[in-house]
Amino acid sequence: MSKCGRKKYIKTNLRQMTMETVESQQDGSVTDSVAESKSAHMQTQTGQSSVPTLAQVATIAETDESAESEGVIDSHKRREILSRRPSYRKILNELSSDVPGVPKIEEEKSEEERTPPNIATMAVPTSIYQTSTGQYTATGDMPTYQIRAPATALPQGVVMAASPGSLHSPQQLAEEATRKRELRLMKNREAAKECRRRKKEYVKCLESRVAVLEVQNKKLIEELETLKDICSPKTD
DNA sequence: GGAGACTAGCGTCAGCATTG
DNA sequence: CAATGCTGACGCTAGTCTCC
């Protein structure tokens, strides 16, 4: 980032942080979801609790209006509240079982089988659209993009170490630790990309579903009006 | 045209879930 | 039960928009 951008960023965040601080100081309870999530995350930094989802945060904000602080919630209940929701893949697949036309997010395995290794493929963004009959249709370019990290694509300088038993010196151990870290970071990087892709797909799917339901709702309302007219003809 | 606001996307960390 | 996967949150960067 340029220095200008960096400055902008800091300023923006300072403003947000200030506002959050003011809010939390004003009423003693956190109403801002962002502030809530941030504070929750801070707790995780100190090893206190897990991170709530946005929806969960909203729920917490709603249900805990009367509660003065988190201390009121006993640890078990809080754990339930903060429990993790299923992955986007699961949610979308459950969704797809309700609505036959909704495309499933494909399993990792099949993606790998489909995509030759060492090849990064790019496709135009997935378009999930509805047909005139209200069915969801997924175009053929379902995998929005896939940048597969080839098995041999370890970062430069990262060498496949020998088995742990053959490591002797502290230096070797340090190198092994570094290598593991690099590997983990690389995998996590890819996982994060994939996760974001799925999330976008999931959101698109939900948006499509909303569109379909809105159309259906409109049609039903019109049908109802028609039936009303038929059943109660005007008496002039 | 410059400054600030807004947005999208990325890398990383942390912690729960899943798997072997 | 350790290793791995998944995902929310955070910090950051870069691009675009809007206002002056």
Q: What is the pLDDT of residue A223?
A: 96
Q: What is the pLDDT of residue A191?
A: 92
- C1’ C15 / CA A134, Å: 36
> What share of chain A in percent tops pLDDT 70?
27
DSSP code, position A8: H
Q: What are the pLDDT digits (tens) for A76-125? A: 333 333 333 445 555 555 555 554 444 444 443 333 333 333 333 333 33
Highest-confidence segment of A31-40, A106-115, A177-186 = A177-186
Work out the burial of residue A161: count CB atoms within 10 Å of its CB; fewer than 13 is exposed, 13-18 middle, 19 or more buried: middle
**Cα angle A192, A187, A159; round to 5:** 155
Q: Which residues touch strand B (CB under 7 A)?
A: A 4, 7-8, 11-12, 15, 44-51, 83-84, 86, 185-186, 188-189, 192-193, 196, 200
Measured distance CA(A183)–CA(A189) in Å, rounded: 10
> What share of chain A in percent tops pLDDT 90?
15
Nearest nucleotide to A87, CA against C1' atoms? C6
Q: What is the largest CA-CA distance in chain A?
A: 102
| Average pLDDT, integer, range A173-178 | 80
pTM summary value: 0.49
| Top-confidence residue, A105 or A29 | A105
Q: How confident is the model at residue A31 (pLDDT cuts 50, 70, 90)?
A: very low
Measured distance CA(A123)–CA(A143) in Å, rounded: 7
Residue A142, helix vs strand vs coil: coil
Which positions on chain B have an atom < 7 Å from some protein CB?
Answer: 3-7, 9-18
Nearest nucleotide to A46, CA against C1' atoms? B14
Tell me how crowded residue A228 is: count the other CB atoms within 10 A of its CB: 9
Q: What is the pLDDT of residue A218?
A: 96
Asked if A50 and A44 count as a contact pair (C-beta separation under 8 A), the reply is yes
- Whole-number Cα distances in Å, A89 to A64, A92, A202: 30, 5, 8
Q: Residues A48, A54, A55, A60: is their CA dihedral positive or negative? A: positive
Q: Which of A57-71, A102-116, A153-167, A216-230 has the lowest mean pLDDT?
A: A57-71
